Amino acid sequence: MAGPTGRGGSLGAALNDLLSSQVTPRHRLSSYTAMHWHAQLSQLTATHRGQQALADAGLNVTTKTLINWLSDAEYNIRRNYRDLIHTAYENVAVVPADPIPGHFKRGQYEISGVVKTGDDERTRGTVDAAPLRIDGSRGNWEGIEALWLAGELTDDEFEDHFVDDVIVEDIGEGTDGWEFPGGSYSVEIR
Protein backbone atom coordinates (compact mmCIF):
# COMPACT_ATOMS: atom_id res chain seq x y z
CA MET A 1 0.00 0.00 0.00
CA ALA A 2 1.37 3.39 -0.99
CA GLY A 3 2.03 5.94 1.72
CA PRO A 4 1.97 9.74 1.64
CA THR A 5 4.01 11.20 -1.20
CA GLY A 6 5.68 14.59 -1.63
CA ARG A 7 6.57 16.01 -5.03
CA GLY A 8 8.82 18.84 -6.12
CA GLY A 9 11.41 20.18 -8.52
CA SER A 10 14.20 19.15 -6.16
CA LEU A 11 14.64 16.53 -3.46
CA GLY A 12 14.30 19.25 -0.80
CA ALA A 13 11.08 20.56 -2.37
CA ALA A 14 9.60 17.03 -2.43
CA LEU A 15 10.60 16.50 1.21
CA ASN A 16 9.08 19.83 2.26
CA ASP A 17 5.90 18.99 0.33
CA LEU A 18 5.72 15.63 2.11
CA LEU A 19 6.33 17.09 5.58
CA SER A 20 3.87 19.94 5.05
CA SER A 21 1.20 17.40 4.11
CA GLN A 22 1.75 15.66 7.45
CA VAL A 23 1.94 18.56 9.93
CA THR A 24 1.29 22.29 10.06
CA PRO A 25 4.32 24.46 9.33
CA ARG A 26 5.08 27.67 11.19
CA HIS A 27 2.99 30.39 9.58
CA ARG A 28 1.63 33.85 10.02
CA LEU A 29 -2.08 34.33 10.62
CA SER A 30 -3.52 36.26 7.68
CA SER A 31 -5.73 38.31 10.00
CA TYR A 32 -2.70 39.95 11.64
CA THR A 33 -1.56 42.57 9.14
CA ALA A 34 -1.88 45.84 11.06
CA MET A 35 1.22 48.04 10.91
CA HIS A 36 0.39 50.96 13.23
CA TRP A 37 0.77 50.47 16.98
CA HIS A 38 -2.80 51.64 17.65
CA ALA A 39 -4.35 49.07 15.28
CA GLN A 40 -2.12 46.37 16.73
CA LEU A 41 -3.08 47.31 20.29
CA SER A 42 -6.78 47.36 19.38
CA GLN A 43 -6.54 43.87 17.94
CA LEU A 44 -4.49 42.55 20.88
CA THR A 45 -6.77 43.89 23.59
CA ALA A 46 -9.82 42.29 21.92
CA THR A 47 -8.77 38.73 22.84
CA HIS A 48 -7.53 36.93 25.93
CA ARG A 49 -4.63 35.52 23.89
CA GLY A 50 -3.66 39.05 22.78
CA GLN A 51 -3.87 40.41 26.32
CA GLN A 52 -1.65 37.56 27.50
CA ALA A 53 0.85 38.36 24.73
CA LEU A 54 0.96 41.98 25.91
CA ALA A 55 1.65 40.86 29.47
CA ASP A 56 4.27 38.36 28.28
CA ALA A 57 5.98 41.12 26.26
CA GLY A 58 6.22 43.20 29.45
CA LEU A 59 3.56 45.85 28.81
CA ASN A 60 2.39 46.71 32.31
CA VAL A 61 0.16 49.78 32.22
CA THR A 62 -3.06 50.68 33.98
CA THR A 63 -6.47 50.11 32.44
CA LYS A 64 -6.91 53.91 32.33
CA THR A 65 -3.72 54.26 30.29
CA LEU A 66 -4.88 51.57 27.85
CA ILE A 67 -8.24 53.33 27.46
CA ASN A 68 -6.46 56.63 26.76
CA TRP A 69 -4.28 54.98 24.12
CA LEU A 70 -7.17 53.17 22.48
CA SER A 71 -9.39 56.26 22.39
CA ASP A 72 -6.90 58.29 20.34
CA ALA A 73 -4.87 56.82 17.47
CA GLU A 74 -2.67 59.92 17.52
CA TYR A 75 -1.86 59.57 21.22
CA ASN A 76 1.89 59.97 21.67
CA ILE A 77 3.25 56.92 23.48
CA ARG A 78 6.90 56.20 24.23
CA ARG A 79 8.88 54.20 21.70
CA ASN A 80 9.55 51.38 24.16
CA TYR A 81 5.77 50.91 24.59
CA ARG A 82 5.30 50.82 20.81
CA ASP A 83 8.08 48.22 20.64
CA LEU A 84 6.40 46.07 23.32
CA ILE A 85 3.06 46.26 21.47
CA HIS A 86 4.76 45.28 18.22
CA THR A 87 6.56 42.36 19.91
CA ALA A 88 3.30 41.09 21.40
CA TYR A 89 1.56 41.47 18.03
CA GLU A 90 4.27 39.49 16.24
CA ASN A 91 4.15 36.74 18.87
CA VAL A 92 0.38 36.34 18.53
CA ALA A 93 0.46 36.56 14.73
CA VAL A 94 2.82 33.62 14.27
CA VAL A 95 1.50 30.10 14.72
CA PRO A 96 4.30 27.74 15.71
CA ALA A 97 4.99 24.66 13.63
CA ASP A 98 3.82 21.29 14.80
CA PRO A 99 6.77 19.09 15.79
CA ILE A 100 7.93 16.57 13.22
CA PRO A 101 6.03 13.40 14.14
CA GLY A 102 7.84 10.23 15.14
CA HIS A 103 6.41 8.23 12.22
CA PHE A 104 8.04 10.74 9.86
CA LYS A 105 11.46 10.37 11.51
CA ARG A 106 11.15 6.57 11.65
CA GLY A 107 9.72 6.23 8.15
CA GLN A 108 11.02 4.18 5.28
CA TYR A 109 11.61 6.59 2.39
CA GLU A 110 11.45 5.80 -1.32
CA ILE A 111 13.04 8.50 -3.44
CA SER A 112 12.28 8.66 -7.17
CA GLY A 113 14.25 10.93 -9.48
CA VAL A 114 17.84 11.39 -10.62
CA VAL A 115 20.33 10.16 -8.01
CA LYS A 116 24.08 10.57 -8.39
CA THR A 117 26.99 9.26 -6.37
CA GLY A 118 30.44 9.56 -7.93
CA ASP A 119 30.20 8.61 -11.62
CA ASP A 120 27.00 6.63 -11.08
CA GLU A 121 24.01 8.72 -12.11
CA ARG A 122 20.64 7.15 -12.78
CA THR A 123 16.96 7.80 -12.59
CA ARG A 124 15.48 5.86 -9.68
CA GLY A 125 11.88 4.79 -9.20
CA THR A 126 11.21 3.68 -12.77
CA VAL A 127 10.28 0.36 -14.33
CA ASP A 128 14.01 -0.32 -14.81
CA ALA A 129 15.33 0.95 -11.46
CA ALA A 130 13.96 0.74 -7.94
CA PRO A 131 13.62 3.93 -5.90
CA LEU A 132 16.41 4.84 -3.51
CA ARG A 133 15.28 3.39 -0.19
CA ILE A 134 16.31 5.13 3.03
CA ASP A 135 15.57 4.13 6.63
CA GLY A 136 14.75 7.39 8.40
CA SER A 137 15.04 5.78 11.84
CA ARG A 138 18.81 5.72 11.48
CA GLY A 139 18.98 9.45 10.81
CA ASN A 140 19.78 12.40 13.03
CA TRP A 141 16.76 14.69 12.74
CA GLU A 142 17.84 17.42 15.20
CA GLY A 143 19.06 19.93 12.59
CA ILE A 144 16.03 19.41 10.37
CA GLU A 145 13.61 19.73 13.26
CA ALA A 146 15.28 22.89 14.62
CA LEU A 147 15.00 24.60 11.22
CA TRP A 148 11.41 23.35 10.78
CA LEU A 149 10.29 24.70 14.16
CA ALA A 150 11.98 28.05 13.47
CA GLY A 151 10.19 28.32 10.11
CA GLU A 152 13.55 28.31 8.30
CA LEU A 153 13.54 24.88 6.63
CA THR A 154 14.05 25.88 3.01
CA ASP A 155 14.10 23.28 0.25
CA ASP A 156 17.90 23.59 -0.04
CA GLU A 157 18.41 23.27 3.74
CA PHE A 158 16.10 20.26 3.90
CA GLU A 159 17.95 18.53 1.07
CA ASP A 160 21.38 19.25 2.55
CA HIS A 161 20.41 18.02 6.02
CA PHE A 162 18.51 15.02 4.70
CA VAL A 163 21.54 13.93 2.68
CA ASP A 164 24.06 14.52 5.49
CA ASP A 165 21.97 13.54 8.50
CA VAL A 166 19.62 10.85 7.19
CA ILE A 167 20.93 9.27 3.96
CA VAL A 168 24.59 9.17 5.04
CA GLU A 169 23.58 7.92 8.51
CA ASP A 170 21.62 5.09 6.89
CA ILE A 171 23.70 3.95 3.90
CA GLY A 172 26.95 5.89 4.07
CA GLU A 173 28.72 8.50 1.98
CA GLY A 174 28.33 6.75 -1.38
CA THR A 175 31.15 6.74 -3.88
CA ASP A 176 31.69 10.48 -3.78
CA GLY A 177 28.78 11.93 -1.81
CA TRP A 178 25.13 12.05 -2.78
CA GLU A 179 23.68 14.45 -5.33
CA PHE A 180 20.17 14.93 -6.61
CA PRO A 181 20.67 16.93 -9.83
CA GLY A 182 17.27 16.19 -11.42
CA GLY A 183 14.36 18.54 -11.92
CA SER A 184 11.54 16.33 -10.61
CA TYR A 185 11.36 14.19 -7.47
CA SER A 186 8.82 12.24 -5.52
CA VAL A 187 9.39 10.98 -2.00
CA GLU A 188 7.08 8.40 -0.50
CA ILE A 189 7.11 7.48 3.15
CA ARG A 190 6.01 4.06 4.42
pTM of the model as a whole? 0.76
Pair 144, 75 in one domain: no
pLDDT of residue 1: 55
3-state secondary structure 144-182: HHHHHHHCCCCHHHHHHHHHHHHHHHHHCCCCCCCECCC
Chain centre to alpha carbon of residue 82: 29
| Type of residue found at 51 | Q
Pair 78, 169 in one domain: no
Phi and psi at residue 163, in whole multiples of 5°? -65, -55
| Number of neighbours of residue 20 by Cβ within 10 angstroms | 14
Pair 86, 169 in one domain: no
pLDDT of residue 73: 87
103: domain range?
5-25+98-189
**DSSP code, position 129:** S
- Using an 8 Å Cβ cutoff, are 121 and 53 in contact? no
| Type of residue found at 109 | Y
- Using an 8 Å Cβ cutoff, are 187 and 18 in contact? yes
Number of domains in the chain: 2
pLDDT of residue 29: 87
Pair 46, 120 in one domain: no
Pair 106, 80 in one domain: no
User: How would you write the pLDDT of the chain (190 residues) with one tens digit per residue?
Assistant: 578 999 999 999 999 999 999 998 888 888 889 999 999 999 999 999 899 999 999 999 999 999 999 998 888 899 999 999 999 999 899 888 999 999 999 999 999 999 999 999 999 999 999 999 999 999 999 999 999 999 999 999 999 999 999 999 999 998 789 999 999 999 999 9
